[in-house]
Chain A
Amino acid sequence: MDLTKERDNLNSILSNLDERLEGFKDLLIDSVSFEIDFSIESIKYVELLLKHLQVKAKNDIELKKDAALYIGQTIKLNFNGEWDIYDDEGTEFHLQPYVKFLDVNHNNFFPFLSINKYFENPEIGFFLKTLGEKKKLIDISIQLGHPKINSIPAKEFAAVKDVFLELFHPNEERLFLFWNHIPIQFQYHNLIQNFDEILAMNWLLQKENQGKTKATLTNDVLTIELHLFWENDDLKIESYFNAIDEKHQTYTDALSENSIINFSKQSFLNEWNTLLKQILTAFDAANVTIVDGTERRKMELLNQVEQAINGYGKLYIK
């Protein structure tokens, strides 16, 4: 089913919600003596109902749907939210109905998934707790530019980073790191400033099951300090965004709103690997030779890391 059909389905259900919830309304009155009013308080009564009917409710698909719709609608109305269908093929949430919020301090709420989760530990206050404590669904992705590679005669370079100045024109398409949908632009020409940090970060992340490291990236308007802590696939990033000039302070303030994030380590590596692959392809096309032994080792490392990660960013996979 595609996104449009799912949205149409959801809209159709929501447009007849009162009618649809008639039976659910009666059940609430009969079971917990509560008349639905879409108040925050009412969620507690739905939780009581589900707890009371636990085994029956767990297996009653229509009842679970009604409860999810009621809780979702109540949360939408009380927290200035909006129903939608989640659209991100790279996640388990893809095509799930959810409530999103204008207030970024609230996490997206997936009522249908939360209902199933509720039965694992049916405590009163579960849904509101989920709303406040669920890990934020932060989106991190990388969009490559499509830079033209300068044709340079086969040439020997002392250092890997020197190649970027020759290979890429300064007036060229940029690559973007989307930090929860806010783009941060990097010029290929200026990868000279960031390449060593990016390579070292990816090398360590893919190599160790557990660890911590730091990487600093810069562009024309800001610096980003990433402090990464990981165990298996759980990656926590504490980030510090600093504006280079005062006029871009509000931009780094916006980025800082999501300064601590939890993410899949493999997904993070896949995003960067798209760039590593592009760099390797460009170096190959230009027939670049690195003469310095230590620097040549970086090229070998780049090849190894790219192959070890063995996956690419979500914008570039089917």
Chain B
Amino acid sequence: MNKPARSLATGIVYALGEKPIFKPGDAIRILDRSPIGHYRVPIYLRGKVGKVETVIEPVAVDNEEEGFGRNAGSRRHYYRVAVPMSEIWPDYVGSPRDGLYIEVYETWLEKIAG
């Protein structure tokens, strides 16, 4: 198979939301919002600080928007996010390295100083 010439890949402009905003290792906060409706970010994690483990490929529909019948153009990335157990539960019993891992849609994350 012929490899496409490298020059083909330069100058390409990607659609909004096509490229992930966060990368593995980024320090993030899961947003603490309380919109009306059913949202799949568990309340026990809202406002908690962690880091991005992996970008989940491919982009996927925002199932929260889709739940209200709005899905046009809402494909974006999900991220596997790691949050230390001690960050969630101050009285946590176990190893300080124990962690909670969850996938969170891009619109529920903000970057913080690492």
Binding between chains A and B? no
